Structure 1
Amino acid sequence: MYAIVDVETTGGKFNEEGITEIAIYKFDGHEIVDQFASLVNPEKEIQPFVVKLTGINNKMLVRAPKFYEVAKRVIEIMDGAVLVAHNANFDYRMLRIEFERLGYEFQTQTLCTVELAQKLMPEEDSYSLGKLTRSLGIPIIDRHRATGDALATVKLFKMLMAKDTDKTIISTSLKSETRRKVEPNLKKLIEKSESTTGVYYFYNQDNELIYLGKSKNIKKRITQLFTSSQPKQKKIKKLVTDISFEKTGNELIALLKENVEVKKNKPKFNKPLKRKNFSHGLYSFIDDHGYINLAVKNIGKDMSYITSFSSLKSGKNFLEKMVSEHQLCKKLVGLEKTDSSCENYPIEKCLGACIRKEDKESYNNRVQEIIDQNSFVNKNIIIVDNGREATERSAIMIEDGIVLGYGFVDLQFQVTHPQVLKKVITPLSNNLDSRHIVQSYLRHKKVKRIIEY
Structure 2
Amino acid sequence: MYAILDIETTGGQFNEEGITEIAIYKFDGHEIVDQFISLVNPEIPIQPFVVKLTGINNAMLRSAPKFFEVAKRIIEMTNDCVLVAHNADFDYRILRTEFRRLGYDFNIKTLCTVELSKRLLPEQTSHSLGKLVRALGIPMADRHRASGDAMATVKLFKMLLDKDLDKEIVKELIKFEVKKGIAPKLMDIVENLPSKTGIYYIHKENGGIIFIGKSRNIKKRVNQHFTGITKSAKKIQNEVFTVTYEETGSELIALLKESQEVKIHRPIYNRMSPKSNFSWAVYVEKDANGYLNLKLQKADGRKKEVKSYTSLQEGKDALFRISSHYHLCQKLTGLYETKTHCFQHTINECDGACVEKIAPEQYNLRVQAFIENNIFDNKTLAILDRGRTISERSAILIENGVYKGYAFYDLNYQINNIEILRNIITPMQSNRDTRNSIQSYIRKSKTIKIINF
* TM-score normalised per structure 1: 0.55
Mark the runs of 5 or more structure 2 residues left unpaired by the alignment: 1-183
Residues 407, 424 of structure 2: 8 Å contact kept: yes
What is the match of residue 294 of structure 2?
Answer: 294
2:234 aligned with 1:228: no
- Specify the alignment match of 2:238 in structure 1: 238
How has the CA–CA distance of structure 1 residues 402 and 368 changed in structure 2, closer, same or farther, with 3 Å as cutoff? same
Structure 1: state its 5+ residue gaps.
1-183
* Residue range with higher mean Cα deviation, 334-343 or 192-201: 334-343
Alpha-carbon spacing, 1:412–1:319, altered in 2? closer, same or farther (3 Å): farther
Contact 1:380–1:398, Cα closer than 8 Å, also in 2: yes
TM-score normalized with structure 2 length: 0.55
Matched ranges for 1:33-182 at <5 A = none
Matched, 1:198 2:198: yes
- C-alpha separation in 1, matches of 2:240 and 2:347: 59
State the SS of the aligned residue for 2:202: strand
Seen in structure 2, the aligned counterparts of structure 1 residues 206 and 297 have a Cα distance that, compared at 3 Å, is same
* Other-structure match for 1:284: 284
Quick one: distance in 1 between partners of 2:385 and 2:434? Answer: 17
Shift of 1:423: 0.8
Change beyond 3 A, Cα 1:229–1:236: same
Confirm or deny that 1:270 pairs with 2:270: yes
SS of the residue 1:364 aligns to: helix
Q: 2:441 aligned with 1:441, yes or no? A: yes
Give, in whole Å, the separation in 2 of the partners of 1:387 and 1:339.
52
Q: Which residue of 1 aligns with 2:417?
A: 417
- 1:252 maps to 252
Tell me the equivalent position of 1:166: none
CA displacement, residues 267-296 of structure 1 (integer Å, 9 cap, x when unaligned): 111137999954443222332333221112
Q: How far apart are the structure 1 equivalents of 2:439 and 2:255?
A: 12
Q: Kindly indicate whether the alpha-carbon contact (under 8 Å) linking 2:197 and 2:248 is maintained by their aligned counterparts in 1.
A: yes
- Look up the match of 2:357: 357
Shift of 1:253: 0.2
Q: Secondary structure at the match of 1:284?
A: strand
Structure 1, residues 134-169: CA drift from partner, whole Å, max 9, x if none?
Answer: xxxxxxxxxxxxxxxxxxxxxxxxxxxxxxxxxxxx
Q: Matches of 1:385 and 1:297 in 2, distance apart?
A: 32
1:317 — aligned with what? 317
Question: 1:361, CA displacement in angstroms?
Answer: 4.9
What is the Cα deviation at residue 259 of structure 1? 0.3
* Shift in alpha-carbon separation, 1:319–1:210, aligned structure 2, 3 A: same
The answer to whether the 8 A contact 2:203-2:211 is kept is yes
Q: For 2:301 and 2:243, how far apart are their aligned partners in 1?
A: 41
SS in 2 for 1:344: helix
> SS at 2:196's partner residue?
coil
Larger Cα-atom Rg: 2
Checking the alignment, whether the CA contact within 8 Å between 2:195 and 2:220 is kept in structure 1 is yes
CA-based RMSD of the aligned residues comes to 2.7
Residue 195 (structure 1) shift:
1.0
Aligned letter for 2:419? Q
Contact 2:198–2:214 (8 Å) recurs in 1: yes
SS for the counterpart of 2:415 is helix
1:189-220 CA-partner distances (Å, limit 9, x unpaired): 11110011100111223332111100111112
Deviates further, 290-299 or 252-261: 290-299
CA deviations 1:350-369 (Å, max 9, x no partner) are 33321223554553333222
By how many angstroms is 1:434 displaced? Answer: 1.8
* CA shift in 2, pair 1:186/1:301, >3 Å: closer
For 2:415, give the aligned amino acid.
V
2:160 corresponds to: none
Give the residue type in structure 1 aligned to 2:342: C
Between the aligned partners of 2:356 and 2:412, the Cα distance in structure 1 is: 50
Distance 1:273 1:423 in 2: 35
> Cα distance, 1:255 vs. partner?
0.5
Contact 1:262 1:273 in 2 (8 A): no
Distance (whole Å) between structure 1 residues aligned to residue 216 and residue 185 of structure 2: 24
- Measured in 1, the distance between the counterparts of 2:231 and 2:274 equals 23
SS in structure 1 at match of 2:194 = coil
What residue number does 1:402 align with?
402
Matched pairs, number = 270
Whether the 8 Å CA contact 1:331–1:342 is kept in 2: the answer is yes
